[in-house]
Amino acid sequence: MVWLADFNMKYKTEAFDLWQYLCANTFDPLIRCRMDFSGFVDEDVLKQAVTVSLNTIPMISCGFGGDGCRPRWIDKGFTGNDMVHVIEACKNAEADIFQCLSARIDFANEPQLKISIVRKSDGDTLCIIISHMICDAAGFKQYLYLLSENYTKLKNKETIVAPAFSPRGIEPLFSNITLKEKIKILRSKYTAYKPANTIEQSGIDLKSENFVTAMEKRIISSESFNKLKFYAKSNGATVNDCLMALFARAFCKNTGTDKIMFPSTMDLRKFIPQGEKYGSSNYSSNCICTTFVKPEDTLADTVAQVSKQMNAHKSDKNILKSVMLWGLAVHAPWPLIKRKFPKYAIHPLVSFTNLGIIDQRRLSFNEVVINDAYLTASIKPRPYLQLTASTYDGRCTLGCNIYGSEADQIFVRKLLNDICTEIETL
């Protein structure tokens, strides 16, 4: 009975698992990481490090699906040997990296983690893809730190005491919230999902059938990023507020609109009491930001709009409403959930996600130097559009992954270029 209880706890399907699983009908629910090294990673040790990490996050070795009342985690017995692969780079190493970074995961039949080591003459590039059912971006970074720590200890033949598995689920978010507060949250008018823009406003070519995958990125240098930080502080805002404002301005400029309503992802872990253990899961929700951009508006005008709304969201527990509702909804019959999901879970056409700061002090693979690293997210089929941002070693990488036409790619490039150009004028 003890073993059975432990098994059920480790492989229990949670609300966010089903949410991300159903999102796969619209886009790939994956989070991606690229790390460029100045040397070479020991692939055998990395495989061992992944295998050890399964003690902490066992779902990585599972498939998700199966018959029955609803999909579930099914232990497939995968190890690091199944998840880590070396690719000897051809003359065009970036093409190999693109293929690895843009890969998908067969959630039912493959591990929930893929690591490709693209081996070049001057060093390795790691392309790491993880299922969004396992974790959000903050959880992914925690996994990367765990993986690098395991690798370093194994490389140095040190004893590893892997962190124990901790229960997953939404319960930790509400452990400090009273029943009265929960009722108040449920009765609030807060909504995390609603249409952001019409298709006509998104600046796309819907008639094109020549759709391909494209992953565009721009790197904001440490010097330029420092200027942005100073600008944010001078205007009583955060860097995140400024990035959202820059995105809104570039979008409106390139679509000819004067209004954009888009969600920004917010980490909900601040609601989990300090010291309470929780497992790897999705602890994030969306806050909607409505921004008007007139031709005569300065960046400071737009930043002020965004900052005011974001400050209101940060102190508002009502952001937990969508989590609470989904936690209740998943107990409904599976056929009903599948039928109602597209109606109530509206995917915004335009969105922004700050994937956060990668802590270089905690991301260390023994003595192999990491030259650069960044996170990026799903590949969105047009008309969907998502801008992501992540920071490493003082540099910020903006990313936008799409499946669309050549016109869509041109639109995304202009969008990113305009954001970077406005930063340079600060």
Domain residue limits at 26: 2-155
Same domain for 207 and 100: no
- Return d(Cα 366, Cα 310) in angstroms, integer: 39
Same domain for 235 and 119: no
Is residue 365 in some structural domain? Answer: no
Same domain for 309 and 215: yes
Please give the pLDDT value at position 3: 35
Same domain for 175 and 145: no
List the CATH number of the domain containing 332. 3.30.559.30
What is the domain count for the chain?
Answer: 2
Please give the pLDDT value at position 7: 47
List the CATH number of the domain containing 123. 3.30.559.10
Is residue 371 in some structural domain? Answer: no
Same domain for 410 and 327: yes
Please give the pLDDT value at position 165: 86
Q: Give the list of residues 6+ apart from residue 162 with CB closer than 8 angstroms, or none.
A: 52, 53, 55, 56, 150
| Last-in-domain residue among 155, 180, 209 | 155
| Least reliable range by pLDDT among 124-133, 187-196, 261-270, 363-372 | 187-196
| Per-residue pLDDT tens digits for 20-45 | 998 888 889 999 999 999 999 999 99
Residue 152, H or E segment:
helix 137-155
Is residue 186 in some structural domain? Answer: yes
Same domain for 353 and 225: yes
Is residue 166 in some structural domain? Answer: no
Is residue 120 in some structural domain? Answer: yes
- Return d(Cα 75, Cα 7) in angstroms, integer: 10
Q: What is the arithmetic mean of pLDDT over 273-287?
A: 89
Q: What is the arithmetic mean of pLDDT over 343-353?
A: 83
Please give the pLDDT value at position 138: 95
| Last-in-domain residue among 155, 183, 211 | 155
Please give the pLDDT value at position 200: 39
Is residue 333 in some structural domain? Answer: yes
Is residue 369 in some structural domain? Answer: no
Same domain for 123 and 227: no
Q: What is the arithmetic mean of pLDDT over 262-267?
A: 89
Same domain for 252 and 130: no
Report pTM.
0.92
Is residue 204 in some structural domain? Answer: yes
- Return d(Cα 263, Cα 256) in angstroms, integer: 20
| Per-residue pLDDT tens digits for 377-410 | 999 998 899 999 999 999 999 999 999 999 999 9
- Return d(Cα 271, Cα 62) in angstroms, integer: 29
In contact, 182 and 27? CB cutoff 8 Å: no
